[in-house]
C-alpha cells in the first residue's frame, strides 16, 4: 500500500501520481494540483536540479525532478517500532582534501566578485543494516523535526529530517525561514547557553544570515503586495546536536500567483545556494560535479489554500538502482570563512547518522558496596 509521511501526519489511500521531466510537464503538474487541491493531499518532492526546468524550456531530464502523490486520507503518524538501531557503514566519507581544494576556488571566486556567499557541499555514501523506512523509524525519535518526511516511488526512496522551512502559505500569506549559522551543542548547560549567545552575536554568522535574508527578501518581493514585507531576524533554534540561527521573512501574496510562479521566484532556496543566486549556482555546479538530487531541493504538501515545503537538508536518499544511500552536508562560505572550521561544520552536520550505543558492565555488590567500583567506572569511561 502506498503511503508517505510529512510532519506529524501519515498520508495514504493513493489516487494518482504526478511527475515531470520538462518545464512544460511541470507547469501541467502544478495546474493539476491547482485544479484538485481541495480534493486531495498533494505530497511530494522537487529535486535541486529542478532549477534547470525553470531556466530552459527545452531541457529534459532522464528522471523526473518533480514528483507528487495525490492522497485521499491522512492520520496522525505514530512510530510503533521501538527496537530498531541504525548502524551505518560508510563506503564514501567526507573528503577533506577535495573540500579544501574547492574551498580555495570559492575564495578565489569571491575575490573576483563572482559570488559573495557559496553553499559548498559534499556527499557521503553509506550502507545500513536497515532499509530506508526502518532507518527513518530508527532516527525519528532523536530527529523529530517539524518537516520530517518519508516517501517511496518507482525511482527512489527518501527519509528526511529537515529542520528548515522553505516556504509556507496560509491565508494568502507566505512565510520563509532561512537557516544560516550553526554551532555545536555542549553537554554542560551553562556552556551550551554561552554557545547560543555567541551564535547570536558572532559577526561572521550575522553577516551570512543577513546576506541570505537580503536574497530571499528580493525573491519573495516578486510574489507579494507592496508594503507587506516583514522581517524578523536572528532567532536561535536548538536541535539535539547543534544550534542554528534562523530569520523569518513574510508578506501578503498578490492575487495572480500560481505554484509554478512561486517556485520560479524562490527555487532553489537561497540558503543552500548562496548569493547572487544564478552565478553561484553555476559555480556550485562546476565545483561539485554531481547532481544534488533531493538534497537541497524541496519536500512538501499542497492542500486547499495551504502549502508547506521544507528545504531538503538532513536527508537520506536511495535510488532504486543503487545499493547505497546518499547523504549530503554543506556550509555557507564567505570571504572570512576558515577552511578547517567549515569542514568541522560538515562533520557536525553528519552526526545525526551516528548510532546510539550502550555499555554494559557486570559488578559485584556485597555488604552495601560495589567491589572495585572506581576501576569499573574507569573501564566504562575507557570503553566510551
Catalytic residue set: 164, 180
User: How remote is the C-alpha of 141 from its chain's centroid?
Assistant: 17
Count other Cβ atoms within 10 Å, centred on residue 382.
7
Query: Would you call 376 helix, strand, or coil by DSSP?
Result: helix
Cis omega before residue 268 (within 30°)? yes
Which residues, 6 or more positions from 304, have their beta carbon under 8 angstroms from its beta carbon?
37, 38
Q: Which three cell numbers stand for residue 97?
A: 582534501
Cis omega before residue 276 (within 30°)? yes
The DSSP element (H or E) to which 123 belongs, if any, is strand 117-128
Query: Would you call 37 helix, strand, or coil by DSSP?
Result: coil
Chain length of the chain = 384
Comparing CA positions, the residue from 268, 264, 69, 250 lying closest to residue 171 is 250
Amino acid at each position: 500500500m502506498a503511503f508517505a509521511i510529512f510532519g506529524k501526519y501519515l498520508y495514504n489511500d493513493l489516487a494518482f501520481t504526478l511527475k515531470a521531466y520538462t518545464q512544460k510537464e511541470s507547469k501541467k503538474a502544478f495546474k493539476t494540483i491547482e485544479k484538485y487541491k481541495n480534493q486531495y493531499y498533494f505530497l511530494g518532492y522537487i529535486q535541486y536540479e529542478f532549477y534547470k526546468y525553470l531556466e530552459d524550456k527545452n531541457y529534459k531530464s532522464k528522471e523526473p525532478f518533480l514528483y507528487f502523490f495525490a492522497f485521499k486520507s491522512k492520520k496522525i503518524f505514530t512510530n510503533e517500532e521501538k527496537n530498531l538501531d541504525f548502524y551505518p557503514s560508510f563506503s564514501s566519507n567526507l573528503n577533506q582534501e577535495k573540500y579544501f581544494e574547492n574551498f580555495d576556488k570559492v575564495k578565489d571566486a569571491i575575490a573576483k566578485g563572482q559570488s559573495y556567499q557559496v553553499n559548498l557541499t559534499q556527499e557521503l555514501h553509506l550502507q545500513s543494516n536497515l532499509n530506508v523506512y526502518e532507518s527513518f523509524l530508527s532516527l525519528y525519535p532523536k530527529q523529530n523535526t517539524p518537516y520530517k518526511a518519508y516517501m517511496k516511488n518507482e525511482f527512489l526512496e527518501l527519509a528526511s529530517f529537515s529542520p528548515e522551512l522553505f516556504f509556507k502559505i496560509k491565508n494568502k500569506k507566505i512565510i520563509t525561514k532561512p537557516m544560516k549559522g550553526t554551532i555545536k551543542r555542549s553537554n554542560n548547560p551553562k556552556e551550551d547557553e554561552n554557545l547560543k549567545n555567541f551564535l547570536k552575536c558572532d559577526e561572521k554568522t550575522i553577516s551570512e544570515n543577513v546576506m541570505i535574508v537580503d536574497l530571499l527578501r528580493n525573491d519573495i518581493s516578486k510574489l507579494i503586495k507592496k508594503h507587506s514585507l516583514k522581517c524578523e531576524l536572528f532567532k536561535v533554534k536548538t536541535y539535539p546536536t547543534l544550534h542554528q540561527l534562523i530569520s523569518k521573512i513574510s508578506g501578503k501574496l498578490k492575487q495572480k500567483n500560481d505554484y509554478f510562479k512561486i517556485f520560479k521566484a524562490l527555487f532553489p532556496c537561497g540558503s543552500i545556494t548562496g548569493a547572487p543566486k544564478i552565478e553561484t549556482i553555476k559555480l556550485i555546479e562546476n565545483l561539485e560535479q554531481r547532481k544534488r538530487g533531493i538534497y537541497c531541493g524541496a519536500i512538501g504538501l499542497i492542500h486547499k489554500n495551504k502549502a508547506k515545503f521544507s528545504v531538503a537538508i538532513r536527508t537520506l536518499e536511495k535510488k532504486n538502482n543503487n545499493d547505497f544511500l546518499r547523504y549530503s552536508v554543506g556550509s555557507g562560505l564567505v570571504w572570512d570563512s576558515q577552511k578547517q572550521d567549515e569542514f568541522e561544520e560538515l562533520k557536525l552536520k553528519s552526526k545525526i547518522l551516528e548510532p546510539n550505543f550502550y555499555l554494559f558492565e557486570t559488578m559485584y555488590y556485597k555488604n552495601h558496596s560495589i567491589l572495585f567500583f572506581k576501576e569499573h567506572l574507569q573501564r566504562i569511561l575507557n570503553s566510551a
